[in-house]
């Protein structure tokens, strides 16, 4: 009999509907037995005792910006995926912009895919872009294997990736619907955000409150209503990314009731940080849509508890630290957060608001796996599934320090924050890609 490659004993297995104490037997990158105890004549090449520890299905981060090729000095696959692995992420979806060229043609796709295959230490999928000039490339991009398409309804901040006007959105969605694919949308009104930003800059008001007010919640709501009205007419599947407010989530729930095939994502920073943090921390906490008032954090957690948030994505959008200087309207807008998603969900959700661990597994792994066609290969700890696993000591406390971060540029709005719930090990297809003990010994 062939040996098991790995046997993980006595762990508490967290799936979307249950927590069960069990042993896991793994061979050839797959989970081949889940029981307690595993009774077999087979031996294991490696045994891990996970007594008292929780084993989550590896996180699936649907929203990551790796800037390779072209802007590797911002973040590359080596540092980016090491950071993700340290955060318990085993699969990520790489957005089509911030790299140069962006992923808007098959040739661009192949360039990015080759680099990811060479350097990424975890599983990956690539988004394709929808811009006004590439609608005739969408079918070929689907054939290449994109996980879906991404469009901006407001300026992206990247010259090479233009936002889509209504005609481009409508025609692009018709093609995406024919391909039975999905459109992820940055939903903010370009007219509203551009005009209000211009007014603030002309007045010289660059405070955190001014920046947030220049990209108001109503701007998101207007864009969501517009894109989902197109989706209803066309029959296109839509994924609304980084909703900053439960008010946006509620609008999406109404469209779901109308029969629109739409999912909604929020990000850890909207569940943890407010305008007050933006004011205090500065541009390191700048993102778009911006951070909101404190009460919006509580309302978003209520949406999580009510099952109205489908997916958590980090929207990791790194850059050199010098680009995070200057006033809030001039500095680069993007939060480096890929390493801290599960930490935020455990500290702010499980510990502070009694969000069940099963819910955390659902929104961070099983839901994204289902939405993007990866379930049950991923998103669940079950016989036959990939051995993508995150082992966590939920009782262990730590304070995040700059030297703990693996980003190419180690800045984060969470530095100095105390967390409960430490990621001990991360496995991708049964292979160890992160171990806390090794990380501490390397310091």
Residue 1 has pLDDT above 80, yes or no: no
What is residue 43's predicted lDDT score, i.e. its pLDDT? 86
Residues 150 and 227 in one domain: yes
On whether residue 148 sits in a domain, the answer given is: yes
User: Do strands 389-399 and 262-266 pair parallel, antiparallel, or not at all (unpaired)?
Assistant: unpaired
Residues 77 and 201 in one domain: yes
pLDDT tens-place string over residues 59-74: 999 999 999 999 999 9
On whether residue 1 sits in a domain, the answer given is: no
Token pair for 110: 């192949």
Number of folded domains in the chain? 2
On whether residue 26 sits in a domain, the answer given is: yes
Q: In what order do the strands lie in the sheet with 89-94?
A: 59-64, 89-94, 123-126
Q: What is the band of 93 on the pLDDT scale with cuts at 50, 70, 90?
A: very high
CA distance 88 to 68: 22
Domain end point (choices 322, 340, 371): 371
Range of the domain at 118: 58-371
Give the C-alpha distances (Å, rounded to integers) separating 153 from 190, 264, 418.
Answer: 6, 16, 36
Least confident of 34-38, 107-111, 414-418: 34-38
Residues 128 and 202 in one domain: yes
Mean pLDDT of 401-430: 97
Which helix (H) or strand (E) element contains residue 35?
A: strand 30-35
pLDDT tens-place string over residues 141-162: 999 999 999 999 999 999 899 9
The answer to whether the CB of 426 falls within 8 A of the CB of 60 is no
CA distance 378 to 366: 7
On whether residue 376 sits in a domain, the answer given is: no
| Class of residue 17 by CB neighbours under 10 A (exposed 0-12, middle 13-18, buried 19+) | exposed
What is residue 440's predicted lDDT score, i.e. its pLDDT? 82
Q: What angle do CA 256, 262, 268 make, to 5 degrees?
A: 110
Residues 196 and 246 in one domain: yes
CA distance 281 to 356: 30
Buried b (16+ CB within 10 A) or exposed e, 308-332: bbbbbbbbbbbbebebbeebbbebb
Residues 317 and 406 in one domain: no
Domain end point (choices 371, 403, 428): 371
Q: What is the band of 323 on the pLDDT scale with cuts at 50, 70, 90?
A: very high
Residues 313 and 409 in one domain: no
On whether residue 326 sits in a domain, the answer given is: yes
Residues 367 and 389 in one domain: no
Token pair for 253: 């729930």
Which helix (H) or strand (E) element contains residue 5?
A: none
In degrees and rounded to multiples of 5, residue 395 shows phi and psi of -95, -15
CATH number assigned to the domain comprising residue 352: 3.20.20.140
CATH number assigned to the domain comprising residue 425: 2.30.40.10
Q: What is the band of 398 on the pLDDT scale with cuts at 50, 70, 90?
A: very high
How large a percentage of the chain has pLDDT more than 90? 94
Residues 155 and 168 in one domain: yes
Q: Which neighbouring-strand residues pair with 44?
A: 4
Residue 312 has pLDDT above 80, yes or no: yes
Nearest alpha carbon to residue 424 among 360, 367, 342: 342
How large a percentage of the chain has pLDDT more than 70? 99
Residues 416 and 318 in one domain: no
Residues 116 and 186 in one domain: yes
Average pLDDT, the chain: 96
> Which residue blocks in 288-346 are alpha helix, DSSP H?
294-305, 341-344
Residues 18 and 70 in one domain: no
Least confident of 32-41, 175-184, 252-261, 360-369: 32-41
Token pair for 302: 């209520």
On whether residue 212 sits in a domain, the answer given is: yes
Nearest alpha carbon to residue 121 among 434, 435, 439: 434
pLDDT tens-place string over residues 283-301: 999 999 999 999 999 999 9
CA distance 401 to 412: 9
Residue 441 has pLDDT above 90, yes or no: no
On whether residue 14 sits in a domain, the answer given is: yes
What is residue 36's predicted lDDT score, i.e. its pLDDT? 85
> Which residue blocks in 126-187 are alpha helix, DSSP H?
138-144, 166-178
On whether residue 88 sits in a domain, the answer given is: yes
Mean pLDDT of 353-363: 98
Q: How many C-beta atoms lie closer than 10 Å to residue 69's C-beta?
A: 16
Domain end point (choices 371, 402, 417): 371
Mean pLDDT of 99-113: 97
Residues 145 and 225 in one domain: yes
What is residue 38's predicted lDDT score, i.e. its pLDDT? 82
């Amino acid at each position: 009999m062939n040996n098991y490659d790995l046997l993980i004993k006595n762990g508490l297995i967290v799936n979307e509907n249950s927590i069960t104490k069990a042993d896991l037997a793994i061979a050839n990158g797959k989970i081949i037995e889940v029981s307690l105890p595993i009774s077999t004549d087979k031996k294991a090449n490696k045994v891990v005792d996970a007594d008292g520890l929780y084993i989550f299905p590896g996180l699936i981060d649907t929203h990551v910006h790796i800037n390779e090729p072209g802007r590797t000095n911002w973040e590359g696959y080596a540092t980016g995926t090491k950071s993700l692995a340290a955060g318990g992420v085993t699969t990520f979806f790489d957005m089509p912009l911030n790299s140069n060229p962006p992923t808007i043609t098959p040739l661009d796709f192949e360039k990015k895919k080759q680099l990811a295959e060479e350097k990424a230490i975890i599983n990956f999928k690539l988004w394709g872009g929808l811009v006004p000039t590439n609608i005739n490339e969408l079918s070929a991009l689907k054939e290449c294997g994109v996980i879906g398409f991404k469009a901006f309804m407001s300026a992206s901040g990247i010259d090479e990736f233009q936002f889509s006007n209504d005609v481009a959105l409508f025609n692009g969605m018709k093609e995406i619907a024919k391909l039975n694919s999905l459109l992820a949308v940055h939903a903010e009104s370009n007219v509203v955000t551009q005009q209000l930003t211009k007014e603030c800059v002309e007045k010289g008001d660059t405070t955190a409150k001014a920046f947030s007010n220049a990209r108001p919640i109503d701007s998101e709501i207007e864009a969501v209503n517009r894109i989902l009205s197109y989706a209803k007419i066309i029959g296109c599947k839509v994924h609304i990314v980084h909703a900053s407010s439960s008010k946006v989530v509620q609008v999406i729930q109404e469209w779901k009731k109308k029969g629109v095939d739409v999912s909604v994502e929020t990000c850890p920073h909207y569940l943890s940080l407010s305008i007050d943090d933006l004011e205090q921390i500065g541009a390191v906490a700048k993102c778009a849509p911006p951070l909101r008032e404190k009460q919006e954090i509580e309302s978003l957690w209520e949406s999580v508890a009510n099952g109205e948030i489908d997916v958590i994505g980090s929207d990791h959008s790194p850059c050199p630290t010098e680009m995070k200087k200057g006033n809030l309207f001039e500095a680069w807008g993007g939060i480096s957060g890929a390493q801290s998603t599960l930490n935020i969900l455990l500290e702010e959700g499980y510990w502070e608001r009694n969000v069940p661990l099963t819910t955390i597994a659902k929104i961070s792994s099983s839901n994204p796996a289902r939405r993007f066609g990866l379930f049950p290969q991923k998103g669940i700890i079950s016989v036959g599934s990939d051995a993508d696993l995150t082992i966590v000591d939920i009782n262990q406390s730590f304070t995040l320090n700059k030297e703990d971060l693996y980003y190419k540029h180690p800045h984060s709005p969470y530095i100095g924050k105390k967390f409960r719930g430490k990621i001990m090990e991360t496995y991708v297809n049964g292979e160890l890609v992160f171990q806390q003990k090794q990380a501490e010994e390397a310091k």
